[in-house]
Amino acid sequence: MKILVVYHSQTGNTERMAQAIGKGAEEAGGSVIVSPVDDVSPDILKTAQAVILGSPCYFGNICWKMKKLIDETVDLMGEFKNKIGGYFVSSGTKKDGEKTMYFLERALAIHQMRIVPGILSVGATSEGILEECKRYGARIAQMEL
Ligand SMILES: Cc1cc2nc3c(=O)[nH]c(=O)nc-3n(C[C@H](O)[C@H](O)[C@H](O)COP(=O)(O)O)c2cc1C
């Protein structure tokens, strides 16, 4: 399965989650690209069979770079239907992190993707969360298309 993990990260927490998800997916047989959001266009997103989006929580919401990419997919309505959609968030607090998770999930739902409930990491990314991320990536890589 062709899997694209797209993330933004300023201080490394979300990036560590992205790399762990990518590693888990690759070890489970997926063909994986892990990429900063700056390097991804809607047309690249379209080529993946599973798209996994990761954002830090900024002011109770996803970061603007991820929002920009998502907004740019508006012309691709229908292209993602029934593809697999995953998401993950790093935040300072659980409350704001959960809100941020909702925004990512909502975007995938509007694209009618098959959503795999995502992972929230609060504070510095722990080894436990990274293990969870690896399992998450593996789970997605093993899903039926
Ligand atoms: C501009 C900015 C705004 C933030 N706003 C929030 C917030 O509203 N709620 C929260 O829980 N954490 C907030 N944080 C904390 C980050 O979500 C947290 O440090 C996260 O782990 C950063 O991810 P990164 O290491 O991948 O950059 C904010 C951080 C920054 C830099």
* pLDDT tens string 44-70: 999 999 999 999 999 999 999 999 999
C-alpha 63 to ligand 1 mean position (Å): 9
Tell which atom from ligand 1 comes closest to the C-alpha of 8.
Answer: 26
What span, in angstroms and rounded, lies between the C-alpha atoms of 46 and 117?
21
Residue identifier of the C-alpha nearest atom 30 of ligand 1: 58
Task: Look at residue 51 in the predicted model and tell me its pLDDT.
Answer: 98
Cα 68 to chain center, whole Å? 15
Show the ligand 1 pocket: residues with CB < 6 angstroms. 9-15, 56-60, 90-93, 96-97
What mean pLDDT do residues 70-78 have? 97
What mean pLDDT do residues 101-112 have? 98
Which two three-digit tokens encode residue 60?
Answer: 């109770």
Q: In 3D, which of 68, 67, 66 has the Cα closest to residue 37?
A: 66
Tell which atom from ligand 1 comes closest to the C-alpha of 15.
Answer: 26
Q: What is the CA radius of gyration of the chain?
A: 13
Tell which atom from ligand 1 comes closest to the C-alpha of 61.
Answer: 8
The CATH number linked to 92 is 3.40.50.360
- Contact (CB, 8 A) for 45 and 73: yes
Entry pTM: 0.98
* pLDDT, the chain, mean: 98
C-alpha 61 to ligand 1 mean position (Å): 9
The tally of domains found in the chain comes to: 1
Question: Using 50, 70 and 90 to split pLDDT, how confident is the model at 87?
Answer: very high
For residue 107, the enclosing domain spans: 2-141
Other CB atoms within a 10 A radius of the CB of residue 56 amount to 24
What mean pLDDT do residues 126-141 have? 98
